[in-house]
Amino acid sequence: MSDIQLNDPQTLYRRWEDSQWNPFSIDLDRDREQWEAMAEEDRALIYWALSSLMVAEERITTKFSGLVGAHCSEEEATFLSTQQVDEARHMQFYARFRDEVIASPEVIAAHVARAREQVSDAFRHIFDDELVAAHEKLLAAPGDLATKVRFVTIYHLILESTLGLTSFRFITGYLEEQELLTGFVDGYSKIHHDETRHIGYGVWFLRETVREHPEQADTVRQTLRDLLPSVAEALGGAGDEGPDLERLGVGTDEVRQFALDGLTRRLGIIGVPIETL
């Protein structure tokens, strides 16, 4: 499995120390020129995709601290605190891109508010209802194993893996093919590298937990049953009012299949085969 690093938190933490990057050092000069010159349809499509990323990283940054508090070892606490820094860094990169390439400089909240106008109801349900509720429960009960398992299933398995890796694959595939926004692709690729570490933690945690507490497989299954209809809808794009996703050169079926294949592989490793959902 090339895009998952299955390691324990201490190994992932050591890898984090060797993987630092600065969102303000990425060269965005060429992106600015290209953005100005881009066809209106391309700009609308890319703006829609970037808006989803902006909203997602804001949610993912501010709805995470409960998991740091729910750690079971010092090594896990260490790794999770690095993930919190990573997510803030990702949010900063997308905000900087909006500041310097797309729009006039704003505070992050204003960028997020504008980006929110672009996202679908299904997307909003996942990030604003399900993630927020799971995080609030975890803050209230950090020692409750089922609550932690539901949170990691939503955060690492659904948001970061199933939605995140799929978005990365098709957005960067399109931009690289069109030779557009090389600075953005550079930053997004560094973000992706961080995300593989985060997903490595999530898969490790769920696999170890299901092995030691087999009844928690049901928590994983129930969480997926609750969320997957919205995930499938969110992967269908922006709806009738949004930009034409076909411009990416791929159909909705291909996008959904890519997401499902990744989820199937990860569930196999965790020990909750997708056939048992």
Q: Report the interface residues with Fe ion, using CB under 5 A.
A: 87, 90, 160, 195, 198
Shortest Cβ distance from residue 198 to Fe ion (Å)?
4
Shortest Cβ distance from residue 48 to Fe ion (Å)?
19
Distance CA 190, CA 198 (A): 13
Shortest Cβ distance from residue 96 to Fe ion (Å)?
14
CA distances from 260 to 120, 157, 160, 165 (A): 20, 12, 14, 11
Nearer to Fe ion, 12 or 217 (CB): 12
Q: Who contacts 214 (Cβ-Cβ below 8 Å, separation ≥6)?
A: none
Nearer to Fe ion, 34 or 223 (CB): 223
Instruction: From 93, 112, 99, select the one nearest 35 (Cα to Cα).
Output: 99
Shortest Cβ distance from residue 123 to Fe ion (Å)?
16
Nearer to Fe ion, 165 or 227 (CB): 165
Cβ–Cβ < 8 Å for 252, 260: no
Nearer to Fe ion, 35 or 155 (CB): 155
Shortest Cβ distance from residue 41 to Fe ion (Å)?
28
Nearer to Fe ion, 58 or 87 (CB): 87
